[in-house]
Chain A
Amino acid sequence: MADTEFDVVVIGGGPGGYVAAIRAAQLKLKVAVVESTHLGGICLNWGCIPTKALLRSSEINHLLHNLPEFGFSADNIRFDLAAIVKRSRGVSKQLASGVGHLLKKNKVPVFDGRGKLAGTAGDKRRVAVTKDGKDVATLTAKHVILATGARARVLPGLEPDGKLVWSYREAMVPDAMPRRLLVIGSGAIGIEFASFFRNMGAEVTVAEVVDRILPVEDEEIAAFAAKQFEKQGIRILTGAKIGTPEKKDGSVLVEIESGGKKEKLEFDRIISAVGIVGNVEDLGLDGTKVKVEKTHVLIDEFCRTGEPGVYAIGDLAGAPWLAHKASHEGVLCVEKIAGLDVHPIDWTNIPGCTYCRPQVASVGLTEAKAKATGHEVKVGRFPFIGNGKAIAMGEPEGMVKTVFDAKTGELLGAHMVGAEVTEMIQGYVIARTLETTETELMHSVFPHPTVSETMHESVLGAFNQAIHF
């Protein structure tokens, strides 16, 4: 019988849970992970990682269809969808097994099953682990971290059926390329699928309820991205009212009202990407002081719930629904448990990345949010068309926007659209974490020629000192 007494038990082995467990082990806390399905969670298995593999394939497809621009020619360009999907699944598998090795290396036992709070034993909490309805183990720990993540929100009438209506899960393993695809929802997940299928040649329509796509991004950046998508042939319907789909044999009829026009459109597949709901069920929260609001557990800045000794991190604990936010919360939560001097989390300093073509990345406040929160702002913008490297790479579509507090010079937010911006946003994240002002950013030497020079120029631009624009 395995040891069942711990300092910390983490329920959920996703990017929040397994990272929290490894950090706890580093801090010499006795820790266990309870995971029901797959280590690495949605991120590694059905989210961030496999979609990046798919998107890489679709970028290659895009390049192959634009070879003459770079001085190549090729005939008979085709793709093997099964091989593309297989590669994506392989990448997930490789990384998920890597998580298993990491936990083993840190001597963190993993209990296979679903964990739930099951009362207390003295000053400790019990966690009951069950598998297929059978009790597997009862663990005790002083601290329990809930990290069970979230799942796709299901709209009535748009329940994924695995055939005509897909959730992210089916969309990731298509057996055939749909000719006509409707993506409902234009957040990061919806837009990435739209971009993937469009670059693979599908006719893609994106329907969004609110009046613009990428609703959490800066308005100007979202508008820039929308223009690029439309140029690529993606149809975007904003302010859309979507009727109940009429399923036919192999296709779906959907009535969509947008811009005062009602249309009845036929699609081969629908992807529903309308947000997520937290996995708050069956965690044994009844009778505890853990508060749940709109399917998410309420926490304070150190991830503590209302119940002493119970913590929540990641998607379960609310927006932004991002793996790196979950990991960061996991580390911070455990360090606080271990008694380290921890700074509370700053949720405004979590970067967001969307890996469509062109990519979108941002951190901090949008211009509108900055103004709404009372800042007097200085805004800098720099287009990729003014950047040598971007033009040389054949990626001249993009821009960087920076928002500064006019009084203090604080970098309030940075917003980027264009090639490789997801790799560059960290520069601004570091700047914000170090509390730099425009002065230090201006004095930093950016290497030439790189796309990152646009980041420098945008800062200069906010103070009317841009050189190349």
Chain B
Amino acid sequence: MPVNILMPALSPTMTEGTLARWLKKEGDAVASGDVIAEIETDKATMEVEAVDEGILGRILVADGTEGVKVNEPIGVLVAEGEAVPAGAAEASIAPAPAAVAKDQGGAKPAADGAAGTAKPDTAAGVPAKAPAAHATATAAPAAGGRVFASPLAKRIAKEAGIELGALKGSGPNGRVIRADVEAAKSAPKTAPAPAPTPAAAPPRPVAAPAIAAPHQKLPNSNMRRTIARRLTESKQQVPHFYVSMDIELDALLKLRSQLNAASPADGPGTFKLSVNDMLIKACAVALRRVPKVNASYTDEAIILYDEVDISVAVSMPDGLITPIVRSADRKSLSEIHREAFGLIRRAREGKLKPEEFQGGGFSISNMGMYGVRDFSAIINPPQGAILAVGAGEKRAVVKNDQLAIATVMTCTLSVDHRVIDGALAAEWMAALKAIVENPLSLVV
């Protein structure tokens, strides 16, 4: 008897996704547990496993189809020798889905050179984020800017990752009630802003001329759309400006060698600090010294974060993501190392939990390992600043009116001028420089 293979839900809040590709063809034999297809949301790619055995009789939804509703039949499984129906099998005879989604991890194992290294190598400053601007939702109350919403609406929105402020409340005096959140959940296409959708995602091409040159088309992944949307929003809405400074690294590199030499040879306490681990800590200490940079702009008020939570941009084969080292100023270097190492590894495996990459008050994007001398990054809203880190390289410097050689890196801070002015940005950069060049404060 034909059994429908249904579009699985990767999460309780997922309503639709992209059928990335089929791994079986029509007519292929399928055993229970076989991976038959891959599906994609903006957060992750998942494998669809068959839970029944049979022949993949018909593919109803082709590779690369977007916006496939959860529980929609995507294929039909038939028994050996059984007639293949033209369409989906009748629903009544397929009470159980013939396939389940398996958490494969968000990204396919990285195949490029960057994969496998523990260093965060980033392409651009702004991470792909989940659709919900979680930070905004939680930051608003702190600012005293109150979104009127019923407690139940708040909770359902939080779980579904929907930004309350973006919803139009239909309750008394515009209060957001449960029905509004559920409507946003079930109809992401018409929702004002939160979910990245094909309709809302592209960076509003301003009448771009049609591309006539010979080309091939790579379909946009959901992560790609999210990156496109968020970066466009950031560049269009956030008045960026940039402050660069050269920072000498020799003292920090020396300290790093000393500390790494002090690591136990093996066992649970071993560590091998990277420059990046030390820069995370250095930024955290600088943010504690100049706390006004650890800030976000909202129309109601400037948000000054209590904690120093640092987002670290990590590249993935199909984009990037920013796991967060929380309270980094209060953690030791070895703690930061362990945490960052784990986060980066899991980011590449696509196994981050939403709370591990949603939020953060400040970002670091390090392209030093690619030999980049300097660059400017795009701010990751609602954060107020992002630090772009270039390669540490030996340069001729002038010391005491003498030419000398020093290991120097150029760092560029991109700031949101609405919340951070030039003098403040310069003050913070000076603080960072002082910390990196006199790095003992990283170990006290």
Determine the residue in chain B with the shortest Cβ distance to A341. B170
Complex Cα spacing A407 to B13, Å: 12
Q: If the complex has contacts A408-B156, A435-B178, are A440 and B170 also in contact, measured as CB distance less than 8 A?
A: no
Complex Cα spacing A439 to B155, Å: 11
A435 & B151 in contact (Cβ 8 Å cutoff) = yes
Contacts of B159 in A (CB 8 A): 407-408
Contacts of B170 in A (CB 8 A): 343
Least Cβ–Cβ distance between B171 and chain A, in angstroms: 8
Least Cβ–Cβ distance between B172 and chain A, in angstroms: 9
Contacts of B150 in A (CB 8 A): 434-436
A437 in the interface, Cβ–Cβ < 8 Å?
A: yes
Contacts of A407 in B (CB 8 A): 159
Complex Cα spacing A343 to B151, Å: 18
A409 in the interface, Cβ–Cβ < 8 Å?
A: yes
B153 in the interface, Cβ–Cβ < 8 Å?
A: yes
Residues 121-159 (chain B) with a chain A CB within 8 angstroms: 150-153, 155-156, 159
Complex Cα spacing A97 to B150, Å: 41
Determine the residue in chain A with the shortest Cβ distance to B152. A435
A266 in the interface, Cβ–Cβ < 8 Å?
A: no
Contacts of A343 in B (CB 8 A): 170-171
A220 in the interface, Cβ–Cβ < 8 Å?
A: no
B316 in the interface, Cβ–Cβ < 8 Å?
A: no
Chain A: residues with Cβ within 8 Å of the partner, total of: 11
> Chain B: interface residue count, which band?
10 to 19
Complex Cα spacing A41 to B151, Å: 39
A410 in the interface, Cβ–Cβ < 8 Å?
A: yes
Complex Cα spacing A157 to B159, Å: 58
Per-residue contact bits, chain A 410-444, to B (CB 8 Å; 1 contact, 0 not): 10000000000000000000000011110110000
Complex Cα spacing A409 to B150, Å: 12
Contacts of A409 in B (CB 8 A): 151-152, 155
Determine the residue in chain B with the shortest Cβ distance to A433. B150
Complex Cα spacing A310 to B150, Å: 34
Contacts of A435 in B (CB 8 A): 150-153, 177-178
Least Cβ–Cβ distance between A271 and chain B, in angstroms: 42
Residues 383-413 (chain A) with a chain B CB within 8 angstroms: 407-410
Set B155, B171, B177: member contacting A408, Cβ < 8 A: B155
Contacts of A440 in B (CB 8 A): 151
Least Cβ–Cβ distance between B76 and chain A, in angstroms: 27
Least Cβ–Cβ distance between B179 and chain A, in angstroms: 8
Contacts of B177 in A (CB 8 A): 435
Complex Cα spacing A409 to B153, Å: 11
Per-residue contact bits, chain B 251-293, to A (CB 8 Å; 1 contact, 0 not): 0000000000000000000000000000000000000000000
Least Cβ–Cβ distance between B73 and chain A, in angstroms: 21
Residues 56-86 (chain B) with a chain A CB within 8 angstroms: none
Least Cβ–Cβ distance between B154 and chain A, in angstroms: 8
Least Cβ–Cβ distance between A444 and chain B, in angstroms: 12
Complex Cα spacing A5 to B442, Å: 86
Question: Which residue, B150, B152, B156, has most C-beta atoms of chain A within 10 A?
Answer: B152
Least Cβ–Cβ distance between A430 and chain B, in angstroms: 12
Least Cβ–Cβ distance between B384 and chain A, in angstroms: 31
Residues 174-218 (chain A) with a chain B CB within 8 angstroms: none
Determine the residue in chain A with the shortest Cβ distance to B177. A435
Complex Cα spacing A435 to B151, Å: 6
Determine the residue in chain B with the shortest Cβ distance to A437. B151
Least Cβ–Cβ distance between A381 and chain B, in angstroms: 22
Question: Which residue, A407, A409, A437, has most C-beta atoms of chain B within 10 A?
Answer: A437
Determine the residue in chain B with the shortest Cβ distance to A405. B152
Complex Cα spacing A437 to B178, Å: 11
Question: Which residue, B155, B159, B171, B177, has most C-beta atoms of chain A within 10 A?
Answer: B155
Per-residue contact bits, chain B 6-41, to A (CB 8 Å; 1 contact, 0 not): 000000000000000000000000000000000000
Residues 150-182 (chain B) with a chain A CB within 8 angstroms: 150-153, 155-156, 159, 170-171, 177-178
Residues 39-59 (chain B) with a chain A CB within 8 angstroms: none
Contacts of A436 in B (CB 8 A): 150-152
Complex Cα spacing A436 to B155, Å: 10
Determine the residue in chain A with the shortest Cβ distance to B176. A435
Question: Which residue, A409, A434, A435, A436, has most C-beta atoms of chain B within 10 A?
Answer: A435
Residues 57-76 (chain A) with a chain B CB within 8 angstroms: none
Least Cβ–Cβ distance between A406 and chain B, in angstroms: 12
Least Cβ–Cβ distance between A232 and chain B, in angstroms: 40
Question: Which residue, B151, B156, B159, B178, has most C-beta atoms of chain A within 10 A?
Answer: B151
Complex Cα spacing A435 to B171, Å: 11
Question: Which residue, B150, B159, B171, has most C-beta atoms of chain A within 10 A?
Answer: B150
Contacts of B156 in A (CB 8 A): 408
Complex Cα spacing A408 to B151, Å: 10
Determine the residue in chain A with the shortest Cβ distance to B178. A435
Contacts of B153 in A (CB 8 A): 435
Contacts of B155 in A (CB 8 A): 408-409, 437
Least Cβ–Cβ distance between A410 and chain B, in angstroms: 5
Contacts of B152 in A (CB 8 A): 408-410, 435-437
Contacts of B151 in A (CB 8 A): 409, 434-437, 439-440
Contacts of B178 in A (CB 8 A): 410, 435
Contacts of A408 in B (CB 8 A): 152, 155-156, 159
Complex Cα spacing A96 to B177, Å: 38
Contacts of A410 in B (CB 8 A): 152, 178
Complex Cα spacing A284 to B152, Å: 45
Would you mind naming 25 contact pairs between A and B with Cβ atoms under 8 Å apart?
A: A343-B170, A343-B171, A407-B159, A408-B152, A408-B155, A408-B156, A408-B159, A409-B151, A409-B152, A409-B155, A410-B178, A434-B151, A435-B150, A435-B151, A435-B152, A435-B153, A435-B177, A435-B178, A436-B150, A436-B151, A436-B152, A437-B151, A437-B152, A437-B155, A440-B151
7 residue pairs, one from A and one from B, having the closest CB atoms: A435-B150, A435-B152, A437-B151, A436-B151, A410-B152, A440-B151, A435-B178
Supply 9 further A-B pairs (C-beta < 8 A) apart from A435-B152, A435-B153, A435-B177.
A343-B171, A407-B159, A408-B155, A408-B156, A410-B178, A436-B150, A436-B151, A437-B151, A439-B151
Which B residues lie at the A interface, using CB under 8 A?
150-153, 155-156, 159, 170-171, 177-178
